[in-house]
Amino acid sequence: MTTDLASYCDPLDLLHRFVSTAFTISLEIAKANVVLQTNDLSLTPANSTLSSASASDTNGHPASCLWKIVRDVDVSNTLTEASIVMLGNVIVYSMGPACIVAADREYREVLAFIGASVDARAYQDSIFPALCRLTEFVTGPCLSHSAHAELSAAVGDECNA
């Protein structure tokens, strides 16, 4: 199966909310059943299962987390230093326009746009670990004060606050 990505232009959808994510894949990430919706199969980790499920895992169990990851072919920026903004139930993880991820604990969702210039290695090394830690945030127990350090560890750097 190939991934067919095209530039997206809808004057009534300037935020690209409605980019089609035709692929649905079941994963187990951080002990959570994750349903990944994406428009680009290269954004799926190895050993994942392609399925037609939309809100449940392949065994029919309710998904404990939804990942919606959109390959943003209209963004050619390179990755910048990471910025993490924590806002109660929401964490926004950004590496500039080439990587914007939001995790919502109450909605149990991890939502992301990944730019065209992000190759497989950069995705696996820099972004996928952060997605996994954000999944822990979404599905795990209440976030403690030590979460700052944990999130920082996800990208292997130190924090400034």
Binding site for other proteins (CB under 8 A): 10, 12-18, 68, 70, 72, 75, 77, 80-90, 92, 94, 96-97, 100, 102, 104, 107, 109, 111-113, 148, 151-152, 155, 157-161
CB of 47 to other proteins, least distance (A): 26
Residue 58 or 105 having the CB closest to other proteins: 105
Cα angle vertex 154, ends 15, 115, to 5°?
30
**C-alpha to C-alpha distance for 109 and 66, rounded to whole angstroms:** 5
Please name the residues in contact with 107: beta carbons below 8 A apart, sequence gap of 6 or more.
none
CB of 56 to other proteins, least distance (A): 18
Closest-CA residue to 125 (of 158, 157, 86): 157
CB of 71 to other proteins, least distance (A): 12
Residue 1 or 14 having the CB closest to other proteins: 14
Give the helix ranges, DSSP H, for the chain: 120-122, 128-139, 147-155
CB of 97 to other proteins, least distance (A): 4
